[in-house]
Structure 1
Amino acid sequence: MEQLCEVEEIKHLANKYYSEVVNLRRYFHTYPEVSKKEFNTQKKIIEVLEGLSLNIRKAGGTGVIAELKGGKPGKIVAIRADIDALAIDDEISKDYKSKNKGACHACGHDGHTAILIGVIKVLCDIRHRIEGTLRFIFQPSEEEVIDGSGAAAIIEDGGLEGVEAIIGAHLWQPIEIGTVGISKGPVMAASDEFVIIIEGKAGHASMPHQTIDSILTASQIVVALNTIVGRDVDPMKQAVVSVGVFQSGHIYNAISGKAVLKGTIRSLDEDVRREVLMHIKKIVKHICDMAGAHCSLQKSSCTYVLNNDSKITDIILEAGKEVMGEGAHEVKPCMSSEDFSYYLQKVPGCFIFIGIGNPKKGIIYPQHHPKYDIDEMALLYGIEVMSNAALKLLSKLK
């Protein structure tokens, strides 16, 4: 009965702050900032949190860490939201359309930031009953990890010191509004970037026999890479190999002597991760050898497999069901990636998905689409679930 009363109080407080959270989400959407440049976003977060009796500091460069000490002793639990936008132009037709050219919250981080502020406001209102400490992490640079993950920067800045568990959430278009996905084990893929450089021999388009055609060689590599998942990976396991960049030549009547391919490897298993890279190396070398071209392959690890801790996930699923009923359920893993996985290399935790899909409201565009938007009712559900999850974790981890 006490737990049910607490859930009802959380719902009441979430509704109390809902309109403010919606307005904040729209503010962040209107003024998005890309990775490592979230200066105004950082300033706005601090401004909103001032006056709530929190310990607030800048962290990870352009991030923020705020800490709430409860009225009773206990463990430390962290909640993380990412705050950066994508480097694309916004194409939504709403009043809160991005005013910053070349920057757009097309992945929902505006909502993540607003939800966490809502969670803070709810929990501040009941701080006297909180058993322990809650650390709120507003993390920069989740989208751009090649030059340094925001999660790694937060960890280096002491963001996980003393933390017993960490939770995070993602607004997710593939699942419908009014539901949350909470699953154990691998739920998001490891991501690696690869760059292949092919050095051939340039020449006149009318005399291909005097050249080593880098475009033809690179094309054969692209086709061959697409056989790896179907022929070299255990069919009971998952992997994705995608080439996203093909750059070569600039004159129509010349054969280019150089080509560059860039792409990603996604996997849910570390053995598969290694095997895929081995096959890429083999394919590139053999095709370039046959063509007489020189090649180089560079790989950069971006994220780990995001592996939800079994014990923590059970607690979060219980908390989710108390709020959402059967709307809280398990979901299948996806091949997208998240640098939240960096935190899970250090402490146990759980990452959940908050459904936003709603065709009736036109919420049909996937993450990273320039017309991506959310059903803002998801903000309310996110505040309720994350607030209850945080309290339940502190009480269970005593």
Structure 2
Amino acid sequence: MAASFSLKSSDPVIQRLLPRIQQLAAEAAAETVALREHLHAHPELSFEEVNTQAFVISELKKLGLSPQPLANTGVVALIEGKNPSRRTVALRADMDALPIQETNEVPYRSTNPGVMHACGHDVHTSSLLGTARILTQLRTEFEGTVKLIFQPGEEKLPGGASLMIKEGVLENPVPASVLGQHVFPRLPAGKIGLRPGRYMASTDELYMTVRGKGGHGAMPEQNIDPVLVTAHIIVAAQQIVSRRANPKLPSVLSFGKVIANGATNVIPNEVYVEGTFRTLNEEWRDEAHVHLRKLAEGIAEAMGATCELDIRRGYPYLENEPALTARTRVAAEEYLGAENVVELDQWMAAEDFAYFSQQADACFYRLGTSTSDGRHTSSVHTPTFDIDPKALETGPGLMAWLTLRELDTTAHSVAAGASATINA
């Protein structure tokens, strides 16, 4: 379903702020890049973001804000405009890095061996700090409250978003909407991508141990071969996706780690397997878990072995609320130009921003980070990931503009003077 909205602001001040926000973003771009390079050089793993938290708190205090720690290494802060109780919009950035050894030869290369900001969370954090800088300078010119959420542990279960929500980050005040952005090296800097509705998949971690009876490879009749049993389980499990799932419902079942510590002539006692299951429907997700467990245990039993399957439930699927996403598209086109706002495909990767999308109206969009000449296109989660610094002018300014448009009464109420057309 495609949706287009023609939004008319009830407050002409909001529209007049667009060029000013663009100017403020340009003026602060060098500082935002410096913040990102500091964060990139000092990455910290999930739930270990102690120094990152201290850095973010320090930067927010420089802006005259009163940040508070939350969920151990997270941070939350409020920017209050005029009439702060009128409406609240929350903005989220994640802060953790990955266990990857960086290979980029740049002055801001990671100084923490084996740890790297390879997923762009340094970009997200510095961009939100840049947005905070812009909005604090405009706080006398908008109504409502902006809640800044700097989140730990996106890369590791149970996900920092879930912990922050449990500790009340979506309360006092309750946000009407939550916005988040993520780097996207397949788009050039200056562009963004978004998609309404179900955008990213749920993710579950699979840990399986198949036990048989090991022995000499030349005497298989004396053994119960767990390697053979595991092979049957892995192959048969794919029919859960190909024959059990609705073909119109995306599902992925992948096994990425298989350990059978035997030898050319040694059948091991057990085989250990790790994998992932992902989909875009919570009911089917639960059903698939049951099918997978029955299949694995049943095949093992039929072949004389045993199977223990540990399914660790991860993040839910990510839903971009359609009306909010339509408003975001219109506002982004105002700020960047329609040619710089693109529609995204569904993506079977997972993001714990999904927890916010399950609790509130949310929009998670992608920020272009590559250069127009094709550089900086390395995928996230690789040791060569980097960005075009121009993205750090686009990111803060755009999010500031999206925030003001969401805070503006008529901009979030189609019925109040806006025309809406929804085309199926």
TM-score above 0.5: yes
Q: Hey, what's the Cα distance between the residues in 1 that align with 2:397 and 2:41?
A: 25
**Offset of 1:174 from its aligned partner?**
3.0
- On the 8 A contact 1:233/1:272 being kept in 2, the answer is yes
1:371 aligns to 2:381 (yes or no)? no
Cα deviation code 1:300-342 (max 9, x no counterpart): 2111111111222122112111111121232121111111111
- 1:179 corresponds to 2:185: no
Check if 1:216 corresponds to 2:228.
yes
Q: Which of 131, 141, 154 pairs up with 1:119?
A: 131
What whole-Å deviation, never above 9, does each CA across 1:240-266 have from its counterpart, x for those lacking one? 111122122155542111111111111
Tell me how far apart the structure 1 counterparts of residues 201 and 73 of structure 2 sit (CA, whole Å).
26
CA distance in 1, matches of 2:37, 2:102: 13
Partners of 1:218 and 1:98 lie apart in 2 by 40
Q: Could you list the per-position Cα deviations for residues 322-375 of structure 1 after superposition, in whole angstroms to 9, with x for gaps in the alignment? A: 111121232121111111111122221111111223472522221111211122
User: Percent identity between the aligned chains?
Assistant: 35
2:185–2:379 CA contact under 8 A, matched in 1: yes
Find the partner of 1:201 among 213, 223, 234: 213
Counterpart position of 2:53: 42
Residue 260 (str. 1) matches residue 269 (str. 2): no
Gaps of 5+ in 2: 1-11, 414-424
2:284 pairs with one of 272, 289, 303: 272
Query: Aligned partners of 1:31, 1:361: CA distance in 2, in Å?
Result: 27
Which of 141, 152, 157 is 2:162 aligned to?
A: 152
1:30 match: 41
Write out aligned runs for 1:70-149 (5 A): 70-73=81-84, 74-145=86-157, 148-149=158-159
Query: RCO greater where, 1 or 2, for CA within 8 Å and sep 6 or more?
Result: 2
Deviation string, structure 1 residues 193-225 (Cα, Å, up to 9, x no partner): 121111111212332221111122212222233
Aligned length: 396
Cα deviation, 1:141-185, whole Å, max 9, x if unaligned, reads 00001xx32011111222110222111110112333322112211
Secondary structure class of the residue paired with 1:40: helix
Alignment deviations for residues 73-96 of structure 1 (CA, whole Å, 9 cap, x no partner): 321111000000011211222222
The answer to whether the 8 Å contact 1:61/1:153 transfers is: no
Pick the aligned partner of 2:373 from 360, 367, 370: 360
TM-score normalised by L of structure 2:
0.89
Change beyond 3 A, Cα 1:176–1:236: farther
In the alignment, residue 265 of structure 1 is paired with which amino acid?
A: F
Which consecutive unaligned segments of at least 5 residues does structure 1 have? none
- Normalized against structure 1, the TM-score is what? 0.95
Structure 1 residues 107 and 219: alpha-carbon distance in aligned structure 2, compared to 1, 3 A threshold:
same
Question: What code does the residue aligned with 1:64 have?
Answer: V
Q: 1:240 aligns with which of 252, 260, 274?
A: 252
CA distance in 2, matches of 1:315, 1:142: 26
Q: Does 1:68 align with 2:68?
A: no
